[in-house]
Structure formats: C-alpha cells, structure tokens
Amino acid sequence: MAINWNWKDKIGELLIKQGDKHFTINVYKCNGLAIFIHEFTNDEGVEQYNVYNFFCDKEHFRRCAKSFNYADEWIELTLWEVPNDFWIILKDLIKRNVKINLIPKETGAA
C-alpha cells in the first residue's frame, strides 16, 4: 500500500529524543492510519523531510507494536484532531507513559 497524505492535513506533533537531542515530528492524516514526518532545513537551506514512521491500518500497528519497541524515544504527543482509528495508537502510548495532549483544533493548529 502506498501511503499518501496532504501537507494541509497535519493533525499534531510528536516530540522524540535521540541521544541528547530532541526532535519534533509532524503527524498527518493519510490514506492509512497515520504518517509521522520529520521536516527540516538542511545545511544548504533546502527544506527536506524524512518519513519517521507510518501505520497502514490497525492490524499493521498491532504487528509493529508487538514486534519492536516503536515508541521508546517518544516523549510527548500533541494532537488537535484524532481520527477514529488513531485511538489504538493513543491507548498504546498511554501504556508506555508517553505524555498525550489533546488540544482543540482552533487553538492548536499550525
């Protein structure tokens, strides 16, 4: 399944830690469950992005959650929109003690 998203469909941000650095990962609605994208400007000033993670559907998420610790560096997830199936991710992150912030879209959207 090819994951497709619209840059206008940002629903939140994820704060992660790698080593001693913190990074913000943007969360987008997509034709799957969700896609997590790190957006940055490189040393030459060019805007770039890396796909940090994605989940096609609830079953894909369940397999990933069982087979590896996909969330061990996740610190905080802030969402201003929660698609219906996204609750499966939220429940798992709560079990892993990741801080969850749900903010109404009119106050949180970028």
At residue 110 the predicted structure's pLDDT band, cuts being 50, 70 and 90, is low
In one-letter notation, the amino acid at residue 31 is N
Given this model, what pLDDT does residue 96 score?
Answer: 83
Structure tokens at 75: 């610190």
In one-letter notation, the amino acid at residue 98 is V
Given this model, what pLDDT does residue 78 score?
Answer: 95
Model pLDDT for residues 49-92, shown as the tens digit of each residue: 999 889 999 998 888 887 766 666 889 999 998 888 899 989 98
Total domain count, the chain = 1
Q: What is the rounded CA–CA span in Å between residue 62 and residue 77?
A: 19
The domain containing residue 81 runs over which residues?
5-108
Dihedral over alpha carbons 24, 82, 34, 60 (to 10 degrees) = 120
Q: What is the rounded CA–CA span in Å between residue 49 and residue 60?
A: 23
